[in-house]
Chains A and B, each alone.
Chain A
Amino acid sequence: MAIFVGAVLVAGAVVLFIVQPVAKGLHASLERTEDELTETEARKRVALLALRDVEYDYLAGKLDEEDYRSLKGELTAEALAALEEDEKARSGSVSGAAAAALEAEIAEARAGLRSAVFCPDCGFANEPGSRFCSSCGHALHGIPAA
């Protein structure tokens, strides 16, 4: 008898527990908490990671000066292209003035500033005109060159 009561209690509790949301209309959230990377963002990310790896390899002495220069030049061009593309893709959804400002910023970055930009997060000395830290990926917007 006790066993029977126990079994009924267990079964009842389980059914109540799982049917309640449907019966009472309790909802679990299904929203994305963060946006998926767009294609341009993904490409930008990959390019930046590659750039950082080269920095690391150079710093750790795995790449010599010449290899470093040639790889870095290539990757910087790629990363800049990816950045620009990404900014362009984004500016589609931003107001015209903001887009123009971004364009100007990119142009300025491309023109190249005189000396290194130090990352506020990790202290890494970045190439002049860097918009993101090559070491940790931290955004370098508006940080003056040293």
Chain B
Amino acid sequence: MIVLGEFSLWIALPVAIWGTAMGFLGGRSQRGDLVLSAERSIYAVTVLLTLASAGVVAAFLGDRFEYWYVASYSNRELETFYKLSGLWAGQRGSLLFWALLVGFFASITVFQNRRRNREFMPYVVGVLQGILTFFLIVLLFAKVNPFERLAFLPANGQGLNPQLQNYWMTIHPPTLYLGFTAFTVPFAFAIAALLNGRLDSRWITLTRRWTLLSWFFLSVGIIFGMRWSYEELGWGGYWFWDPVENASLLPWLTATAFLHSVMIQENRGMLKVWNMSLVVLTFLLTIFATFLTRSGLLDSVHSFAQELTIAYIFFAFMGSILAGSAVLILYRLPSLQSENRIESFLSRESAFLFNNLILLGAAFAVLWGTVFPLVAEGVTGQKITVGPPFFQKVNFPIGLALLALAGIGPVIAWRRATRRNLRRNFAAPVIFGAVVAAVLAAMGARHPLALTTWGVGAFVLFIIVTEFWKGTKARARIEGEGILLALYHLVIRNRRRWGGYIVHVGIVMIFMGFAGAAYNVDVRKHMQPGDTVEVASPFGHSYTLTYEGLSVSVGRGQRNLQWQAIALVSVARNGKQIGSLTSEKRQYVTSEQLMTEVGIRPTPLEDLYIILSAVDDLDAAVNNDPKAQGVDLQVLVKPLVNWIWYGGLILAVGSLIGLWPSTERRRVEDQAPSEEPAVAGAV
């Protein structure tokens, strides 16, 4: 099985090259036989990549430590569940996994379009196979072959990094990869449109659901990553602006911009060049993200020189994509003229445009902050860090402006808004937002930035709720339906629009949760059993935490676990006992590093979060010395953190509503492909 997998990888490369060539040749010469061959090659490569991945999984399950990759990311004691996830635990496997996902999405695309949109398919297949070819070349020639063998047979593997032995970490990378890879389909269609010259919004309509799917997975993947960071990394936060996190945020920002700007092209026939550029940019950023996280460049600054092969291949690929797309767009420039123009600065069109500019500005700032230290280090050899303060300072106003636009966009008039129109639509929401901020201030919240965020958030929520209310009311009146039925039909008939509004609600919640961090409480104390620490919540109540003592268990629980030292803390709220929390230090068999497990008591308004920072005398404690019980405890109160997760959930529901296939739309598409009721007033 394993050898067959390795062999499959080698056959896949010539097949992918063949498919790329046949796709482009077939499209150019309009030869159906070549195109059919190219389409079949997609299925073939997908099957081969599946075999190769099965080979890797088999190597993990069979504890085949003669393979470098298995020896580095697994050991005999690892739970089967984590062995299965070995496919994406490290760089080599995840590059293969990436290719596998592209293969699957490509196969779905070919199958879906076996009778439709045939004029696009030769080039779509060519582009998709080209991308697969690139990943196969990387896998086979950049010294990252997952099937590489060691010269000797180790008795056991080095095991999986304990921090990765967490369920969020098991689902977080594949979710992100699903997002990255799903975006290859819109990219392929965009390039195909440039090549075959069909530059109306057809390619956008065709790939809309793919874009949304990609966006959904990216968003959910990012939130999973935050959740993992919050629960597992043990420093009390969810986002550190480190390069790996930023790498996933970048394509999300541009994909969000793209999701919004396509609506202008569909509704107004504008921004065609811009949309093409955004697709290319987003695709490049997905590749860049893979490059940054999986080229080994980041986690191995010391082995910079060894890793250059893969960096060269990635740079060559990204460079040719960029150059090729730029040439194509320039070549088609005459056909990409706008059918309309923006009439006024105060209009929904310009709100969309601002949204795009802001998102791109954010993407640029994040990109700069991420790449600058790398470049600087590469050039000068000095390590420079661009820390969270930079990103926070830059992105705070950007985020706030975006948040405000999420409220302005839906209600400002298309074309041009008059002063009366503005007053009519914005007076109530602005007053509402101001009142909310004033009430919060009166209740004691004085942090200006947090207050602004909550005020703007309230403004946006007010607008969205009013939108739902007005739409439902209008529908109920016209159709004579009950309110609930009217609401249901309203959403069902235009899933993208109302799903989008629901996503906005989620985003508002997430931002409000971020702003809660302004009121984080952080108390550190050295404690002996029986000691108490008092922590005041920003909501007015106080927690009394009593350290009950340290208990050490050896060799229980996970097989990879050597021992765990568990600090038990009982918690009282305003003097009333409400339960207990634990935080641990853990020693894994395979890792020299000590791990920290935090204790979290979540409530809708705030989390109580404890971290066992240090144990005075660890050796004595592990040997159950009753005197070695002194610990350093860090207690955090984190207001509104849960709003981030709730917001993520709402966001996911909203995008699923937008994604859900609609029978109605299909009917309409069949009848009149150009009229699409679902886009009316879309935001």
- Partner-B contacts on A (CB < 8 A): 3, 6-7, 10-11, 14, 17-22, 25-34, 36-37, 39, 41-43, 45-46, 48-50, 52-54, 56-57, 59-64, 66-67, 71, 122-124, 135-139
Contact = CB atoms under 8 A, between A and B. Distances in A.
22 contacts: A6-B4, A10-B7, A14-B15, A17-B43, A27-B35, A29-B118, A30-B121, A33-B115, A33-B118, A37-B674, A42-B200, A42-B269, A43-B269, A45-B675, A50-B414, A54-B414, A62-B424, A62-B470, A63-B421, A124-B478, A136-B675, A137-B676
Top 6 nearest A-B pairs by Cβ distance?
Answer: A27-B32, A137-B675, A28-B36, A21-B36, A21-B37, A60-B470
B679 A43 contact: no
B420 A10 contact: no
Given A17-B44, A54-B414, A60-B470, A10 B4 contact: yes
B614 interface: no
Contact of B421 (A17, A27, A64): A64
B32 A30 contact: yes
A52 B680 contact: yes
Given A19-B37, A30-B32, A43-B339, 6 more contacts: A21-B34, A27-B31, A29-B118, A30-B121, A50-B267, A137-B672
A22 B198 contact: no
A6 B2 CA distance: 12
Contacts of B15: 14, 18
Interface string B7-44: 11001000100110000001100111111110111011
A21 B33 contact: yes
B51 interface: yes
A64 B7 CA distance: 70
A50 B413 contact: no
A105 B19 CA distance: 52
B209 interface: no
Contacts of A123: 478-479
A67 B418 contact: yes
The secondary structure that dominates the B interface is: helix
A21 B424 CA distance: 64
A36 B202 contact: yes
B269 A46 contact: yes
A11 B11 CA distance: 7
A122 B97 CA distance: 47
A22 B44 contact: no
Contacts, number: 159
A41 to B, nearest CB: 7
Nearest to A44: B674
A10 B413 contact: no
Nearest to A35: B673
Contacts of A37: 200, 674
Interface in B355-374: none
A137 B677 contact: yes
A80 to B, nearest CB: 17
B385 interface: no
A18 B467 CA distance: 53
Contact of A60 (B200, B471, B679): B471
Contact of A7 (B4, B44, B121): B4
A30 B40 contact: no
B32 to A, nearest CB: 3
A56 B677 contact: no
Given A14-B44, A71-B415, A30 B37 contact: no
A56 B4 contact: no
Q: Output the residue of A3, A37, A62 with the most chain B CB within 10 A.
A: A62
A22 B479 CA distance: 57
A39 B337 CA distance: 11
Nearest to B48: A14
A28 B413 CA distance: 47
A31 B269 CA distance: 25
Contact of B420 (A56, A66, A122, A124): A66
Contact of A18 (B44, B116, B411): B44
Contact of A26 (B36, B115, B679): B36
B616 interface: no
B444 interface: no
Interface string B40-55: 1101100110010000
A10 to B, nearest CB: 7
Given A10-B8, A63-B421, A64-B424, A26 B33 contact: yes
Contacts of A61: 424, 470
B675 A46 contact: no
A7 B7 contact: yes
B122 interface: yes
A31 B118 contact: yes
A135 B471 CA distance: 13
A128 to B, nearest CB: 19
Nearest to A46: B269
B661 interface: no
A59 B40 CA distance: 51
A28 B121 contact: yes
A36 B676 CA distance: 15
Contact of A33 (B8, B44, B117, B677): B117
A115 B133 CA distance: 63
Given A28-B32, A42-B339, A53-B267, A60 B8 contact: no
Contacts of A10: 4, 7-8, 11, 48, 51
Interface in B439-493: 467, 470-471, 474, 478-479
A27 B122 CA distance: 12
B294 interface: no
B554 interface: no
B3 to A, nearest CB: 5
A136 B677 contact: yes
B51 to A, nearest CB: 7
A56 to B, nearest CB: 5
A62 B478 CA distance: 17
B33 to A, nearest CB: 5
B118 to A, nearest CB: 5
Contacts of A46: 267-269, 339-340
A10 B52 CA distance: 12
A56 B680 contact: yes
A32 B118 contact: yes
Nearest to B479: A123
Nearest to B39: A28
B681 interface: yes
A50 B5 CA distance: 55
A89 to B, nearest CB: 15
Interface in B241-266: 266
Contacts of B520: none
B625 interface: no
B363 to A, nearest CB: 29
Nearest to B6: A7
B425 interface: yes
B251 to A, nearest CB: 29
Interface in B490-522: none
